[in-house]
Structure formats: structure tokens, C-alpha cells
């Protein structure tokens, strides 16, 4: 089990990126949260098995026809015990 703090830069606000990220995280049984920041970045806390996290990061990097990811920053952080779901934060 691992946990990462991820910052995503690009065309990631106002294009459904949080919903997109949430779908991909839940499909992989990952926990954490996704939140838009005032500086235009999106902040993601993602926790789960390494293989599933790598799959999630690959999926969000690809984006879709509305989303364009220019850069992803990933930092390993301590896990949060008892976290059970992936949620949107506002």
C-alpha cells in the first residue's frame, strides 16, 4: 500500500478533470481525493496498490479530448489508515 500527493498541470480545470480522475480512481479501488487549486493546478491524494496507482496515473496523463495534461508531479507521502473512498473536494 502506498500514498502519493500528485499535482497536475495543463488544461485540467473546467473540463471535467475531477470527475474523470474520480472515475479512474474508483474503477481501480483507490482511495483519496481530488481538488482544484486557485493557481490552476489540480491536487490529488491517491492511495492503494502500486500497480493500480501506476495505471491511474497513466490514464489521467492521457486525458481525453477535453483534458490536456502537461505535467504531473508525484511525491510519496505517509498512508492514511481507514481511508475508504475517493472523493471530490471543493
Q: Catalytic residues, which ones?
A: 18, 36
Written as nine digits, the cell of 52 is 493500480
Round to whole Å and give the CA distance between 3 and 17: 20
Torsion of CA 61, 64, 85, 71, to 10 degrees: 30
Amino acid at each position: 500500500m502506498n500514498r502519493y500527493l500528485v499535482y497536475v498541470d495543463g488544461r485540467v480545470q473546467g473540463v471535467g478533470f475531477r470527475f474523470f480522475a474520480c472515475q479512474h480512481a474508483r474503477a481501480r479501488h483507490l482511495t483519496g481525493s481530488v481538488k482544484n487549486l486557485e493557481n490552476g493546478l489540480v491536487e490529488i491524494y491517491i492511495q492503494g496498490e502500486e500497480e493500480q496507482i501506476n495505471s491511474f496515473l497513466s490514464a489521467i496523463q492521457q486525458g481525453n479530448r477535453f483534458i490536456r495534461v502537461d505535467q504531473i508531479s508525484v511525491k510519496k507521502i505517509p498512508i492514511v489508515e481507514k481511508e475508504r473512498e475517493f472523493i471530490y473536494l471543493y
